Chain A
Amino acid sequence: MQNYSLDDIYIRDFDPATEEIAIDTKNIRVFYGDKEAIHDVSLPFERYKITALIGASGSGKSTFLRSLNRMNDNIEGSRVTGQIMYRDIDINAKNVDVYEMRKHIGMVFQRPNPFAKSIYDNITFAPRRFGEHRKAVLDELVETSLKQAALWDQVKDDLHQSGLALSGGQQQRLCIARAIAMKPDVLLMDEPASALDPISTSTVEDTLLALKDQYTIIIVTHNMQQAARISDYTAFFYGGKALEYDETRKIFTRPKIKATDDYVSGHFG
């Protein structure tokens, strides 16, 4: 297995005047105990764009993504240093209201994790906790978010069946609907399509493209075609570092770093 240098790095410069930044990460390091899993990564994410995080297994994509809405807080022994600027606030600071922040920065996980509740309750549970009790509004929310997640037609006749009774791919789309229903600003997705069949995958991809008007999406994917099809920017992770970050088109046609080139062309390792 070939080793690539962690010092050959290319990170695209963004022009804050024309390219509005939704989340700006600076010098992110993530530790699991004494082990440093992410080494000093600084990436800005442009608003209303889809950014793909690609890289081999274990390169730190999930770890980095999970630090953006502080899900790593819940892992004992894990620690994140550096700044994550969101709306002029460093959300990695100690005194930040993490729960409030997560309403703005939603997440869909790699493994589908619907609640042991009905489809309807899966989607409306959080909105109701946050004070929305009007039935008409909730019904509407369920319908639109299920439609956006390409699940509506399959479940509309029985919204009161358990979310756990759905197939794996349907469960994942339910989780996407649940996240969208919160109307977050930023949507973090960790390989959301890895459990889906090609048809639902392409529906979900269409969904993401449609959501781009209102959401900033950061998505981890192992699927090169998927990254190429839907994302505007791509970051290539290797050994806990982002080695290259550029417009997707450039990453897939003229990468500047050897490791990226080998990875996207399938000659990696």
Chain B
Amino acid sequence: MDAKRADKLMTGVLYAVAGLIIIILASLLGYILWQGLPHISWHFLTSPAKSFEAGGGIGIQLFNSFYLLLLAMLISVPLSLGAGIYLAEYARNNWLTDVVRTAIEILSSLPSVVVGLFGFLVFVLQFQFGFSILSGALALTMFNLPLLTRNVEDALRSVSFDQREAGLALGLSRWETVTHIVIPSALPGIITGMILGAGRVFGEAAALIYTAGQSAPALNFGDWNPLHVASPLNIFRPAETLAVHIWKINSEGIQPDAAAVSAGASAVLIIAVLAFNLLARWLGNRIYRKVTAA
């Protein structure tokens, strides 16, 4: 067989493999949306869940998911920025940074159930935070932090060394060079990574089952004092999220319309995660274009 034909054949094989993956993905997405979309209504999105009767919604779970996401990102974004900047810009290559990098690597490959159980033992029991938003947010941080740190470090490292030299040669300090030259160049990558991380966190269930809990007590959306028990902002209340809700309905749901609620909730979850991904790409491209060819 000559090179040209071999080339053609292999190109064909690669197209077939890629096509297969796309078909699987598309049919999966299509199926979930097909099943779920008819159940989605304003009522479904805003009303509380029901345990025994039909007609429950996912309002509280949806709010919990976003609130937990917000808190988890509030903790993990600054931490990962600090750690990533340190590792990429300041850390010398020695055994200590090797240990830190290896630790991050291992942490980022921990199964989320393990992170959840760790959170249960430490945050829920040891620190007595109970099943709460706080425990959940901390567990999500554990789950998210290593990946975000890696992402920040990689994004910073992808900025050429020449850029740092340019800044330093003008008499700028290292910190000024990092904050005003390197970080702006790395921003598209950093932001894309953060949003993808948010999508991952949003869809996470296993790390939350034993930390944020599996119940969604009624909330009073007129009371925004974080110290009140029924306030949506209270961080010490249990908070079942959308992903956990789906898991729970499917494992022990006894509502007559359990299948429909599960399908609707899954569709909402998928749409949200998709939205995070699309947003990440769009924003990343936009910022990239802005910094390279204004």
- B-contacting residues of A (Cβ < 8 Å)? 69, 71, 74, 76, 99-103, 106-107, 109, 111, 113-118, 125-126, 129-130, 160-162, 164-165, 175, 178-179, 182
- The reply to whether A125 and B180 contact each other, CB–CB distance below 8 Å, is yes
- The reply to whether A99 and B171 contact each other, CB–CB distance below 8 Å, is yes
* Cα separation A129 to B171 with both chains bound (whole Å): 10
- The reply to whether A74 and B165 contact each other, CB–CB distance below 8 Å, is yes
Q: B162: CB under 8 A from chain A? A: yes
Tally of B interface residues using CB under 8 Å: 24
* Cα separation A178 to B166 with both chains bound (whole Å): 10
Given contacts A71-B168, A74-B164, 17 further A-B contacts (CB under 8 A): A69-B169, A99-B171, A99-B173, A101-B171, A102-B171, A107-B169, A113-B162, A113-B166, A114-B166, A115-B166, A115-B181, A115-B185, A116-B184, A162-B291, A162-B292, A162-B293, A179-B169
- The reply to whether A103 and B165 contact each other, CB–CB distance below 8 Å, is no
* Cα separation A165 to B160 with both chains bound (whole Å): 17
Residues of B near A100 (CB, < 8 A) are 171
Which residues of chain B from 168 to 202 have a CB within 8 Å of any chain A CB? 168-173, 176, 180-181, 184-185
* Cα separation A126 to B167 with both chains bound (whole Å): 8
Which residues of chain B from 233 to 281 have a CB within 8 Å of any chain A CB? none
**Given A115-B181, A116-B185, A130-B171; A109-B166 close (CB under 8 Å):** yes
* Cα separation A71 to B92 with both chains bound (whole Å): 17
A74, A160, A161 — which one has the most chain B CB atoms within 10 A of its CB? A74
* Cα separation A161 to B289 with both chains bound (whole Å): 11
Rounded to whole Å, the gap between the CB of A102 and the closest CB of chain B is 4
- The reply to whether B163 and A126 contact each other, CB–CB distance below 8 Å, is no
* Cα separation A167 to B212 with both chains bound (whole Å): 55
* Cα separation A117 to B293 with both chains bound (whole Å): 9
- The reply to whether B185 and A126 contact each other, CB–CB distance below 8 Å, is no
Residues of B near A111 (CB, < 8 A) are 162
Shortest 7 CB-CB distances between A and B: which pairs? A113-B162, A103-B171, A126-B170, A102-B171, A107-B169, A113-B166, A165-B293
Q: B126: CB under 8 A from chain A? A: no
* Cα separation A7 to B291 with both chains bound (whole Å): 52
B196-231 near A? 1/0 per residue, CB < 8 Å: 000000000000000000000000000000000000
- The reply to whether B292 and A178 contact each other, CB–CB distance below 8 Å, is no
- Which residue of the partner chain B has the closest CB to A69? B169
**Given A161-B294, A165-B293; A113-B163 close (CB under 8 Å):** yes
**Given A129-B172, A129-B176, A182-B170; A109-B162 close (CB under 8 Å):** yes
From A102, A129, A160, A182, give the contact of B168 (CB < 8 A). Answer: A102
Residues of B near A71 (CB, < 8 A) are 165, 168-169
- The reply to whether A161 and B293 contact each other, CB–CB distance below 8 Å, is yes
* Cα separation A130 to B176 with both chains bound (whole Å): 11
A100, A117, A118 — which one has the most chain B CB atoms within 10 A of its CB? A117
**Given A115-B163, A125-B180; A76-B168 close (CB under 8 Å):** no
A/B interface sample: 25 pairs, CB < 8 A? A71-B169, A74-B165, A99-B168, A99-B171, A101-B171, A102-B168, A102-B170, A103-B170, A106-B170, A107-B169, A109-B166, A109-B169, A113-B160, A113-B166, A115-B167, A116-B184, A116-B291, A117-B291, A129-B172, A130-B171, A162-B293, A162-B294, A164-B293, A165-B292, A175-B166
- Which residue of the partner chain B has the closest CB to A111? B162
From A113, A118, A162, give the contact of B165 (CB < 8 A). Answer: A113
B83-108 near A? 1/0 per residue, CB < 8 Å: 00000000011000000000000000
